Structure 1
Amino acid sequence: MTWLMNYLATTNPSSQSSVPSSVASSSRSSQSSVVISSSSSSVIVPASSTSSSRLSSSSLRSSSSSSIISTAPTLVYAVNSGGGKVNYNGVEYQADRFNTGGTANSTTDNISNVAEGALFQSELYGTFGYAVPVTNSTYSVELHFAEIYHTTVGKRSFNVSVEGKQEMSQTDLYSLIGADAAYTYTVNNVQVTDGKLNIDLTTLVDNATLAGFAIYSSTGGKFVEPPVVDPVATSKENEGADCVLGTAPAATSNAKLPDPFKKYNGARITSKAEWRCQRQEILKQVEASIYGAKPPKPEKVTGTVSRTQITVNVEHQGKTASFSARIEMPSNVSGPVPAVVVLGGFGGDTATIKAEGVAIITYDPYVVGAESGSRTNKTGAFYTIYGNRSTTGLLAAWSWGVSRIIDVLEQSGATILKPDAIGVTGCSRFGKGAFAIGALDQRIALTMPFESGSGGVPIWRGIPGEGAQSPSSAYGETYWLGDAFSNYTADTKRLPVDTHQIIALVAPRGLFIMDNPHIANLGPKSAHAAALAGAEVYKALGAASSITYHSNVADGSHCAIRPEHKAPMQANIRRFLKKESATTGGLTARSNATANINDWVDWITPTLN
């Protein structure tokens, strides 16, 4: 490798102002490119502009077995990251799919070094990954890049791994190719043994980026089109699963809370009927930027329900996992009863819940997603199924676990517990979990987060000014949040969504937020702001009385059971779980922890037909 780089440097000296030494075209179609390769990777460089100073060690790995690649394997599948279907060098790149996380962006700038620039004009950026279904075989992967945002060196740095092996490290595209220029990196000898070819990008400095990729095989490897998911099968958990969504707009800095009524295309919804798919657009942005993706129901979920325990068994793509939850039935009640899932046994007033004739399901979130793991080695039932390097955070994983519990309840015949009358509660970190669970499964009838703090109800945009736990601290404490949230810890104004829109995901179902105004680290002012803005969605949907917020309490102890919360909790349980007449609603904040909605909202709540 060294001799070839030195040779190129001496025979083709170039300056920083010359044509960038990027990948102008595929090695399969360009005759004017020199391919510098190791046994497992290569970079294609236009011969007329090669510069050894541009071929940094951050993207090349030398090998004594370096060679010139001349074979042309068969195309398996190609994807245009962050964009629609395009053609490049005779290859049809499909619209973006199979990704978890990432935010789409595009430019109209001309891309140098290529005749067909459309592929390089769009990108997916952030910390994200792809899992492309293929047969077990050996592949090569062409990774396409362009620096369409930054205009100076040192502004971007990221790593790229293929099938768990790091192939590019500390990559700064501008230092390699300058702005608006195409660059391609090829990884060879990729062995797939689990039916998925994984490509993972990790942000080091201001967002990893990918324009697209193409997968080839000379050993008979093939793409496997996944089965079409029956929308009806997932409609209860996610009623908008069948909505056809466009591409989310590029994220822009906005100090105000994003408009929950604005669609991807910039138009605003005008009817309640549109909310189903509007909710789906918000959900996808929340998953992409905050939680990570929550997968739909696995291929097989079975289990048992008794008066003391629920067992859950999951099978998916050859992998299995099991867990259980304890049940406490209320006294002197016969027949199937409603139930509240209590995360870690640590949430709202369980005595009041049971006194209402409602069962308690004590759910240990750590058996589904353990905090003892790390972002590169996540553990628990969820990660057993979806991989220990999944970019999905604990809050979405915990939600997945509760969804599987409800699956088993639905299959049980409803002889003990009513699957259509399930609530959820938790305090502190489990309050974050309860909030996410209610947002991510529409079968939850009543969501009751308790002092959830940063990563829960409080708006991210308000936290830095309130003295609450910082976004970077909440992200770094453990992997509650999806890996992609790392892109926003330094500047939450760039988030495409905020927590008022997570409240909107719960609407119009029951929501009772319990907060503590005495601990600034919990962000009670920001939580009140979220409730005020989220309540506008409830109002637009004709469900203003279905959201209750209460922080006017005297006891400032964290997660203390308070008498002020008892009456509104009883009312919410009676209305949303027992289907009885009860008066709910109202946003009651203590005077020292209030927000002004006009400080955060610059949109007008529409009257929906």
Structure 2
Amino acid sequence: MKKHLTLLVLALFCLNVYWVKAQLPLVYDSENSGADIVRDATTLPSLADCPVVQPLPDPFAWSADPLGVSPVRSTDPSDWEKHRQELLDMFQYYEIGNRPTVDMSQIDASFSGNVLTVKVTVGANTLTLTSTITIPTGATGPYPILIGMNSQTGSLPASNFSSRGIATMNFAHDQVVTYAGWGGSYTNNDPFFKLYPEQNIDNTGEYAAWSWGISRLIDGLYKLNGVVGSNTIDLDHIAVTGCSYAGKMALFAGAFDERIALTIAQESGGGGATSWRYSATQSDVEGLGNTNYDWFKNSMRDFAGQNISKIPTDHHLLTGLVAPRALMVTGNADFGWLSNKSCYVNSKATKLIYDELGISDRFAYVIDGGHGHCSFPTSQNTQLNYMLDKFMKGNDQLSETYEVFPSTYSSINYERWMNWWGTGDSTFPEDPNAVGIWMEAECATVGSLWNIRSEEGASSGQYVEYDIDNYDPPLYGEPQLLDFDFNIEEANTYRIFGRVHCPTYNDDSFYKTIDNGNFSYVNGLANSDWGWTLFEMADLTVGAHTFTIAPRENGAKLDKILITTGIYAPEDIGVIGSNCVPTAIGDIEKLDGVIISPNPVRDFLTVSLEDPADKVTIYDMNGQMIYNLTSMESEVFVDTSSWCSGIYFLAVNGQKNKVVKKIVKR
């Protein structure tokens, strides 16, 4: 009897869990159904206090319980709405800035001549939005409706909607804040900032303002109870869509406004349905450091480069915020800057969120190629029409899951980015097979227009810098080139990381190329101190190669590089570059007119020069300067009796070249 009772209780528990998951709403009737859950966003940590999370952050781990009791983790669907509030706070605090709440008493809506007019009044100021609504012919209402960014269907075919009796309308984003990409200017005089003067272009990104504006259009539809002229809009079936930067716009709108039943983010690229962290392991993609900072609040830039693992957000959390409502994401593998592999990893993480909530059929992603950017291919009709039929037309009999991606992506180890969820260990295990070649910038083949300078924080105490802006791609053979020659012993995919210090956003880029290829540039490297960033990723064959750096903005400092099969940037200064260390050590060494004797040394070292030197410096393994001579004619004796045993480096800045030699102290 006891056994049967236990089985009955277990069955009822499983049935209840299934029921909770099955009952997760497809849409809500308020912008934020958890708005009454009180949280204090000012308790969110600053950069200095943010913990390092190398993989993708755990979407089910809260930084604090809504009641402030303790950090918790819950995969219970009934807790998801509570956790959403923390995530919404985090995206506003770290990424886009504040989205002001609006009471319906501040909304005035009217409809005339197919145009919806919405007025938002705050104090003495009013912002006006207008949108043309197209009602499909041959259909009867109430009509589901699609809000397209800029145009009525975004970059999707109008026929997919009109044939299904779906109405369409446009969001004109310049009525809120101006998109500078169209020749306009994003300023504090834009309508949104006149409405909210406490916000400005520094603390507010356009995605906060634009997504807020989309919600105000929806307010207008609700204010009219869906009645537009002689027609009625089905307020339970509202969708948003956009492509590229407008794809990000649609995604932020869908994440923040729960009245949106379906979000379609088409080829949104970096800052959309891609991961900041994974994109940091890819070259020539839109990442956190080089995205458009009109779109995001300026302070997010502090998390670029080596701080990428400290940003509490990442964009599987943004796509996850759409849950439990429906989401479709697309990518375009023909356009590398869209960071499609990052979209794949981010989509895999998003799928796990939807799976855990028991709503797998509400998420689909398609990454393909063979078509232009923002040009919808007919091959995606299957997925798009499924999402429209199920989540706009309400065909509950449909239940599919769609994952479409290039076959080559199957080799991407996406699991390691989320395997830690629920374990509490947010670090990647060391890769014991990673190969690394360390090289110092001052010991490369340094063009005559570069300057070799000293700074305590640099490896070996020296770095290189260029003093003139150079926005035109350089030519080979010019004195502005910095060449790193190296040999590869095993063919593989290699990443080249650079240790840089770029104090401002006006001096944070370099040109770069491998083996005399076309120059491209890496940008958005600004950091407050020395740190590592990804320069390049390439498949290299066995043999000799050359990595070339050229200046783009003056003031950008380069210390050293690491060429590695690993995918993560170093966390510390690393070892002294092999290009600065002679391969042979003897009692007497002579190289490029510099003689040191004896080596290894005990009490006294003799340094002899064939030509005068401007500077002679000796560093220990930690890069600390222990000896410095501002000029030298021919010979000097150095007392080494007090030195600790170990490795030291002698740097001679001559009038013709620079020589670095290793010294062994016994």
Q: Distance in 1 between matches of 2:126 and 2:405?
A: 46
Superposed, 1:114-129 pairs within 5 Å as: none
2:271–2:287: 8 Å Cα contact kept in structure 1? no
1:340–1:425: 8 Å Cα contact kept in structure 2? yes
Shift of 1:549: 0.5
Q: Distance in 2 between matches of 1:546 and 1:464?
A: 29
Superposed, 1:66-81 pairs within 5 Å as: none
Q: Distance in 2 between matches of 1:548 and 1:270?
A: 21
> Could you say which residue in structure 2 is the equivalent of 1:371?
179
Shift of 1:583: 3.0
SS of the aligned residue for 1:302 comes to strand
> Could you say which residue in structure 1 is the equivalent of 2:150?
344
Shift of 1:297: 1.4
Which entry has the higher C-alpha Rg, 1 or 2? Answer: 2
Q: Using a 3 Å threshold, how does the CA distance of structure 1 residues 306 and 444 change in structure 2: closer, same or farther?
A: farther
SS of the aligned residue for 2:261 comes to strand
Are residue 309 (structure 1) and residue 115 (structure 2) matched? yes
Shift of 1:245: 2.7
Q: Using a 3 Å threshold, how does the CA distance of structure 1 residues 593 and 354 change in structure 2: closer, same or farther?
A: farther
Q: Distance in 1 between matches of 2:292 and 2:149?
A: 20
Q: Using a 3 Å threshold, how does the CA distance of structure 1 residues 291 and 267 change in structure 2: closer, same or farther?
A: same
The one of 532, 541, 544 aligned to 2:348: 532
SS of the aligned residue for 2:74 comes to coil
Q: Using a 3 Å threshold, how does the CA distance of structure 1 residues 502 and 592 change in structure 2: closer, same or farther?
A: same
Superposed, 1:220-239 pairs within 5 Å as: 236-239=30-33
> Could you say which residue in structure 1 is the equivalent of 2:330?
514
The one of 409, 417, 426 aligned to 1:600: 417
Shift of 1:577: 1.3
TM-score, normalised with respect to structure 2: 0.53
> Could you say which residue in structure 2 is the equivalent of 1:399?
211
2:347–2:365: 8 Å Cα contact kept in structure 1? yes
1:272–1:541: 8 Å Cα contact kept in structure 2? yes
1:339–1:359: 8 Å Cα contact kept in structure 2? yes
Shift of 1:264: 1.5
Q: Using a 3 Å threshold, how does the CA distance of structure 1 residues 430 and 260 change in structure 2: closer, same or farther?
A: same
**CA offsets, 1:202-253, max 9 Å, x none?**
xxxxxxxxxxxxxxxxxxxxxxxxxxxxxxxx97101121113363354122
> Could you say which residue in structure 1 is the equivalent of 2:266?
450
1:425–1:448: 8 Å Cα contact kept in structure 2? yes
2:148–2:241: 8 Å Cα contact kept in structure 1? yes
Q: Using a 3 Å threshold, how does the CA distance of structure 1 residues 334 and 556 change in structure 2: closer, same or farther?
A: closer
TM-score, normalised with respect to structure 1: 0.58
1:545–1:585: 8 Å Cα contact kept in structure 2? yes
Are residue 281 (structure 1) and residue 86 (structure 2) matched? yes
> Could you say which residue in structure 1 is the equivalent of 2:288?
471
Shift of 1:321: 1.1
Please tell me the residue identity of whatever aligns with 1:489. A
Shift of 1:306: 4.8
Q: Distance in 2 between matches of 1:328 and 1:596?
A: 45
Q: Distance in 2 between matches of 1:277 and 1:437?
A: 19
**CA offsets, 1:284-307, max 9 Å, x none?**
111111121211115501112357
> Could you say which residue in structure 2 is the equivalent of 1:240?
34
1:524–1:593: 8 Å Cα contact kept in structure 2? no
Bigger Cα displacement from structure 2, 292-301 vs 321-330 = 292-301
> Could you say which residue in structure 1 is the equivalent of 2:24?
none
The one of 376, 382, 395 aligned to 1:567: 382
> Could you say which residue in structure 2 is the equivalent of 1:429?
245
SS of the aligned residue for 2:91 comes to helix
Q: Distance in 2 between matches of 1:567 and 1:314?
A: 39
Shift of 1:593: 4.4
Q: Distance in 2 between matches of 1:323 and 1:457?
A: 27
Please tell me the residue identity of whatever aligns with 2:98. A
Q: Using a 3 Å threshold, how does the CA distance of structure 1 residues 584 and 447 change in structure 2: closer, same or farther?
A: farther
Please tell me the residue identity of whatever aligns with 1:481. F
Q: Distance in 2 between matches of 1:317 and 1:251?
A: 37
Shift of 1:575: 1.1
Please tell me the residue identity of whatever aligns with 2:200. R
Superposed, 1:153-552 pairs within 5 Å as: 236-245=30-39, 247-248=43-44, 250-265=49-64, 266-298=71-103, 300-306=106-112, 308-345=114-151, 346-372=154-180, 377-387=187-197, 389=200, 391-415=203-227, 416-467=232-283, 468-476=285-293, 479-490=294-305, 491-551=307-367
Please tell me the residue identity of whatever aligns with 1:576. F
> Could you say which residue in structure 2 is the equivalent of 1:576?
391
Q: Unaligned regions of 5+ residues in structure 1, if any?
A: 1-233
Q: Using a 3 Å threshold, how does the CA distance of structure 1 residues 603 and 348 change in structure 2: closer, same or farther?
A: farther
> Could you say which residue in structure 2 is the equivalent of 1:47?
none
Q: Distance in 2 between matches of 1:365 and 1:438?
A: 16
Shift of 1:499: 0.2
Aligned residues with identical type, % of pairs: 28
State the aligned residue count.
369
1:454–1:470: 8 Å Cα contact kept in structure 2? yes
1:292–1:483: 8 Å Cα contact kept in structure 2? no
Q: Distance in 2 between matches of 1:399 and 1:429?
A: 12
1:370–1:378: 8 Å Cα contact kept in structure 2? no
SS of the aligned residue for 1:471 comes to coil
> Could you say which residue in structure 2 is the equivalent of 1:136?
none
1:292–1:484: 8 Å Cα contact kept in structure 2? no
Please tell me the residue identity of whatever aligns with 1:328. T
